[in-house]
Structure 1
Amino acid sequence: MTKKYDTPLLDELEKGPFPSFVTEIKKAAEKNPMAADLLGQLEKSYRDKMTYWKHGGIVTVRGYGGGVIGRYSQLPEQFPNVAHFHTCRINQPAGLFYTSAAIRFFCDLWDRFGSGLTNMHGSTGDTVLLGTTTNNLEPIATVLSLNGFDIGGSGSALRTPSCCVGPARCEWAMIDTLDITYEITQEFQDELHRPQFPYKFKFKIVGCPIDCNAAIARADCSIIGTWKGPIEIDQDKVKDYVKKGVNIQEEIVNMCPGKCISWDGNTLKINNEDCRHCFHCIAKLPGALKPTPPFGAMILIGAKAPFVIGATLSWVIIPFMEMKPPYDELKELTRKWWDWWNEYGKNRERIGELILRRGMREFLEISGLEPIPEMVKEPRNDPFFFWKEEDLEKKPWEAWTK
């Protein structure tokens, strides 16, 4: 029998039109003592307006340095079943494709070893299993491994790479997001499982600039599918959209950031040389417009959530990279970045913040990249003359030549 608690404050969260996590915890609490005590502690936290969780330091599986978020109750005598309430992050399949058997496996595993509560999925992407004890961590890892799953990333490490559904379900995918995610995950196992960075590092891979995975806002390294060929136009289908009420001038032409589209009421024209490859027109007129090969990816760097200097979006480092297996160009570039970051990064400093602190010039030099216009985030913000000390020793006209 599980203990039942009166939860008048938590009950308020079940009211209204939206699903409630409280309802799900109550379902689990009917048969799981850990979920029942979780309700009791949460109610007390709401009543006292303070948390009763504490972080007890690093706790993980032998051979791993991360993947488990240690959590302990400050009230173990009052709520003994959540004295330990560790969270396990599990490396999710690329594109979040599960079989029903895999879902049942996770549910059975967590009913046996944990609270029965799961989070599908965490912000990083992991399958999150909420609430277990220290003694259960080794058995959990063993069962996961025997069934083809692995623990994901946490702490100052490479976080579990994630991607959109890509070519598996999306007609707009211009790179194989699933294969890239798998290859990166396999290549960087040490960096994923054994924290060694100044802070976290995230890869997110999306098949096109629509960015369904929000890579540009959430990933230290965003890999975004793009194209080099002209946008193919089916004029008859454009006219069909007009008949259905689409205002081409207002919704397409005026919204183009490159100002490269024109419409005379009968024919749509695109000056592809000025196209910014934002994908807006293609997404608004599917079937009428489509990108053409060659296909590849933009590589961007530096996004993160707020902490020291606030949220930042990533900015373009390589406007087009051919993404051919085994993606050696991307891997080699990434290792250069990590070496530099490990040498100069401060504790809890993301790589984007290091670039802002030490300068884009230094970052491009260690990357072996030349500055190009696509790297400019804002007009008159990024310097494009990278003067070196030896340039000062040259005669004025020699400084402009190599």
Structure 2
Amino acid sequence: MVSKTPLLDELKKGPWPGFVQEYEKMAAKKEIARRMLNQLELSYRDKRTYWKHGGAVTVKGYGGGVIGRYSAIPEVGPPAGCHTFRVAQPAAWFYKTDALRTVCDVWEKYGSGLMNLHGSTGDIILLGAPSEVLQQCFDELSSKGFDLGGSGSDIRSLSCCMGPALCEWACFDTLDVYHTLTMEFQDWIHRPAFPYKFKIKISGCPNDCVAALARADFAIIGTWKDEIQIDQEAVREYAKAGMDIKAITERCPTKCMSWDGKELKINNEDCTRCMYCINKMPKALRPGKERGATILLGGKATILQSAMLGWVIVPFMKIEKPYTELIDLIKRIVTWWDENARTRERVAELIYRVGMRVFLKAVGLPPVPQMVFRPRNNPYYFWSPEELEEVK
């Protein structure tokens, strides 16, 4: 029987389905799920968490992928060891139904049956496995073609948007880049060896549907280098149908657009590729033909130095097989970060501490105007010894 949960019952009110009903379905079948439900009710009642995070919990050959979870109240909650699996997801979360059923069957056999698709990292999150079944559960998942994702101080599981599979704005093949980088960095994903976590997220266009700008230490966001493609006749059709073209041009953040009632003009040198006009008039405007990606570094949530958005380090890079330039850049950045960061210091926090100038020199990137974070506020320039030697 499911224990009484008056506070959780409040969340079942209203027209929308919720997680409590799903919890109760598994609690009727699985004792561990029932105990997890009890603990959650107590957390709501006492306004505190009863989960203790941490501990070395792994399966053979892996350092990441299993997250240690321990209950502070195992006498009424779940067993002291009630751990979480992260199962690596396919590119852009494309699944066949039988694949999902396979994961569900394995998880109901060994764990609580409760799962989360998808966590902020992107993996399938399997919630609640006793310590004694971790290896058997992983072995069965592995035998059916599934692998663990990243957790701990490693390269976390990558994620990408649907890209050219379903989106006409994709500026490169996000799915192939995702797969290639995942295969390239398997060891760094599965075996934590770094000061802290490092996330790579891939968006095919500036709409940034995976929020790489805000959530990725290394963000790859599709863009174009040449002019926006304009179909003037389609623009006039939009205007004829009642669309206020002038209002769209006035909302352009750089005011690089103008409309005289017959022709739409764009000063592409001032365009920031925000996608606003393209999203409003998809039949008339398209990204340019010379496509690639902007590389940004340092997006993250609050830890040491508050939340940060990605910082442009490469304004434009061609993204073409075998992606040698991209892979080499990631390796240089991760190696420098690994050698210089303090414990639990993300790459953005390291750059904030030592300065962008030090970072650029270390990884061999040339400074460009797009990197400017804010105008300089002091008139002095300090020459490095190498620069002074070049002047001589």
TM range (shorter): over 0.9
Structure 1 residue 63 corresponds to structure 2 residue 61:
yes
* CA separation of 1:383 and 1:106: change in aligned 2, threshold 3 A: farther
Identity %: 56
Instruction: Say which of 122, 126, 129 aligns to 1:125.
Output: 122
Is the partner of 1:212 in helix, strand or coil? coil
Distance (Å, rounded) in 2 between the aligned partners of 1:312 and 1:17: 37
Contact kept in structure 2, 1:38 and 1:82, CA below 8 Å: no
Q: Which residue number corresponds to residue 229 of structure 1?
A: 226
Q: Which moved more, 1:187-196 or 1:267-276?
A: 267-276
Q: Which residue number corresponds to residue 177 of structure 1?
A: 174
Contact kept in structure 1, 2:336 and 2:363, CA below 8 Å: no
1:161-206 Cα offsets, whole Å, 9 max, x none, are: 0000001111111110001011111001111011111111000001
* CA separation of 1:190 and 1:355: change in aligned 2, threshold 3 A: same
Q: Which residue number corresponds to residue 44 of structure 1?
A: 42
Displacement, 1:224? 0.7
Displacement, 1:18? 3.4
Displacement, 1:273? 2.2
Q: TM-score, normalised by structure 1?
A: 0.93
Displacement, 1:334? 1.1
Contact kept in structure 1, 2:220 and 2:296, CA below 8 Å: yes
Instruction: Say which of 336, 340, 354 aligns to 1:358.
Output: 354
After the TM superposition, which residues 144-183 of structure 1 pair with which residues of structure 2 at under 5 Å, given as runs?
A: 144-183=141-180
Distance (Å, rounded) in 2 between the aligned partners of 1:193 and 1:178: 20
Report the AA paired with residue 367 of structure 2.
Answer: P
Instruction: Say which of 95, 98, 119 aligns to 1:98.
Output: 95
After the TM superposition, which residues 280-295 of structure 1 pair with which residues of structure 2 at under 5 Å, given as runs?
A: 280-295=276-291
Report the AA paired with residue 24 of structure 1.
Answer: E
Is the partner of 2:221 in helix, strand or coil? strand
Q: Which moved more, 1:100-109 or 1:35-44?
A: 35-44
Distance (Å, rounded) in 2 between the aligned partners of 1:302 and 1:141: 33
Is the partner of 1:184 in helix, strand or coil? helix
Q: Which residue number corresponds to residue 310 of structure 1?
A: 306
1:22-77 Cα offsets, whole Å, 9 max, x none, are: 11101111211111111112112222333222235120111111111111112223
Report the AA paired with residue 328 of structure 1.
Answer: T
* CA separation of 1:213 and 1:314: change in aligned 2, threshold 3 A: same
Instruction: Say which of 247, 250, 257 aligns to 2:247.
Output: 250
Question: Gaps spanning 5+ residues in structure 2: where?
Answer: none
Is the partner of 1:5 in helix, strand or coil? coil
Q: Which moved more, 1:208-217 or 1:338-347?
A: 338-347
* CA separation of 1:183 and 1:102: change in aligned 2, threshold 3 A: same
Q: Which moved more, 1:165-174 or 1:291-300?
A: 291-300
Equivalent residue pairs, number: 392
Q: Which residue number corresponds to residue 205 of structure 1?
A: 202
Contact kept in structure 2, 1:376 and 1:382, CA below 8 Å: no
Displacement, 1:313? 0.4
Report the AA paired with residue 20 of structure 1.
Answer: G
Is the partner of 1:156 in helix, strand or coil? coil
Question: Gaps spanning 5+ residues in structure 1: where?
Answer: none
1:326-356 Cα offsets, whole Å, 9 max, x none, are: 2111111111111211111011110011111
Q: Which residue number corresponds to residue 53 of structure 1?
A: 51
Distance (Å, rounded) in 2 between the aligned partners of 1:90 and 1:244: 49
Q: TM-score, normalised by structure 2?
A: 0.95
* CA separation of 1:15 and 1:384: change in aligned 2, threshold 3 A: farther
1:255-307 Cα offsets, whole Å, 9 max, x none, are: 22332211112210112222222222111110101122221111110100012
* CA separation of 1:245 and 1:298: change in aligned 2, threshold 3 A: same
Q: Which residue number corresponds to residue 329 of structure 1?
A: 325
Is the partner of 2:127 in helix, strand or coil? strand
Contact kept in structure 2, 1:117 and 1:131, CA below 8 Å: yes
Contact kept in structure 2, 1:371 and 1:384, CA below 8 Å: no
